[in-house]
Amino acid sequence: MSLTLREIAKKHDAKKDDPCLDLYTEKFETLRDQPLTFLEMGVQGGGSVKMWSEFFPNARIIGIDLTDFSEHARGDRIEFFQGRQEDAVFLDSICEKTGIDQFDVILDDASHFGLYTKRSYEILFDRRLKRGGFYIIEDWGTGYWDDWPDGSRYQAPPTEVAVEGQEAHFIYRPDEAVGLLPKTFHSHQFGMVGFIKQLVDEAHHGAIKNAHPYRLSKFDSMIIKEGVVLITKK
């Protein structure tokens, strides 16, 4: 009987939280025997790529990291490359060296900085992810951390209800029920959290009527859970 993903993660000391493992089990269990191509950015000592290699026994696993984990992140069907996740030349060179033009799964568990994560997405999603493939972003909650370089302590946004005598933080329109109907809702926008909220715009791009050219979303679906976002590409 095959081990569960949680059991495999524990076996290889893969640093993956339970919400991530549960979501991956739900999405990937039926794909375990498929000859997938899998790119993981940020390999955390090598345990994660070994986990994926065992879970997907017929897949090719490509791992990258800023730190040289080549001694640990290797094995059957595993290849490791050292470099930066936001470096387009480096990412393209991986495809050239491996002969993999597009991946079935791309997982970003690298810097956890909003800008680097966004740049990797912009480089990889359109050109390097197959139709129907999965793009995953882990640990997006760093944007709520006051001690994280691009994060900040969460502060509750001001109320949307207009109160006489107080400074107006919102754009309003007249409304017969509440007097003034807020058109803007402020929220936490720091680091990874801000980027994930930008991706929500893409998830419903078809509603953006002034987009030129007009198009529908590139996403078939976008699942947001504590610690992980999983996008399925159309």
Q: Which two tokens stand for residue 207?
A: 């509603």
Identify the CA nearest to 233 among candidates 124, 101, 99, 148.
124
CA–CA distance, 117 with 195 (Å, rounded to integer): 8
Cα–Cα nearest to 34, from 124, 135, 103, 91 = 103
Q: Of residues 12, 72, 112, 204, which has the active-site annotation?
A: 112
Quick one: which of 113, 126, 62, 109 has its CA closest to 90? 62
Is there a catalytic annotation at residue 112? Answer: yes
Q: Is the peptide bond before 158 cis (omega within 30 degrees of 0)?
A: no
Residues marked active site are found at: 112
